[in-house]
Amino acid sequence: MQLSLLLVYALSVFMLIITPGPVVALVVNTSLVAGPRRALLTALGTNWASLVLVMVAALILSGTLAVSTTLLNWISLAGCVFIGHIALHGLMHSSAAASAQAAPAKTRGSGLITGFLVGISNPKDILFFVSFFPQFINVTSSFKGSIALLALVWIVIDLSILTAYIFLMRHAFALKYQRKIARASSFTLLLVAVGGAIYSGWILFN
C-alpha cells in the first residue's frame, strides 16, 4: 500500500466534502427544517450516490464502460435543474421551517431519495470521480482492493463531515439563526445550480 498516496487522497476528499456545495447545503438546510433524523437519511442518500459514482469510475477504469463527455454534461445539466428546484422550494418555504415536518414514512423516503438525486447529479462529485479519482487507483497492488479502500475512505470521511454539519446545526446558536441559515443554504444551492447550468450548457451548445 502506498500510504502517502492514500493520505493525499484522504486530504483531497476531506477538502472536497467540507467545502460548501450542493450536498452540504442540502444537508444543513434539511437539518434545520426537518430535524437531524431526516438530515441523516439525506446524508445516507448522498453517500449512496457516491458509491454508485465509485462503481461507474471502476467500470470506466476497467474498460467495461465508456462514458462520453457529452453524456456527463447532460447529466450535470439535469442535476443543476433539480438542485435549482430544491433551492427555490427552500427559499419559498424557509419562513415556514418550524411547520415543515412531513409524515414519518414520507419523510424517510423523500430524505433518502432527495439526497441520492442531489448526490448523483452533483457536478463536483461527477468531476471528482471521473477525472480525479483514477489518479489514486494504484494505492494498492490490487485493482479491486484499491477500489474498495478508496470507497471506504470516502464513506468514512463523507459521513463524518456531514454528521458533524447536521449536529452543528442543532446547536443553540444555529437554531437562533435558523431561518437565516436555511435561506443562506438554499441560496448557495441556487448559485451552484445556476453556475453549473451555465457551465454545462456552454460546453454542450458551443
| pTM for this prediction | 0.69
pLDDT of residue 159: 92
Read off the pLDDT of residues 142-187 as tens digits, 9 standing for 90 and up: 888 888 999 999 999 999 989 988 888 777 655 566 566 667 766 7
> What's 132's DSSP letter?
I
The residue length of the chain stands at 206
Higher pLDDT, 203 or 186: 203
Read off the pLDDT of residues 190-201 as tens digits, 9 standing for 90 and up: 776 787 778 778
**Winning range, highest mean pLDDT, from 13-27, 70-84, 150-164:** 150-164
Instruction: Name the residue with cell 448522498.
Output: 46
If one counts every other C-beta atom within 10 angstroms of the C-beta of residue 58, the result is 22
For residue 31, give the 3-state DSSP assignment.
helix
Read off the pLDDT of residues 92-123 as tens digits, 9 standing for 90 and up: 765 554 444 433 334 444 678 888 888 887 76
Would you call 205 exposed, middle or buried from its count of C-beta atoms within 10 A (0-12, 13-18, 19+)? exposed
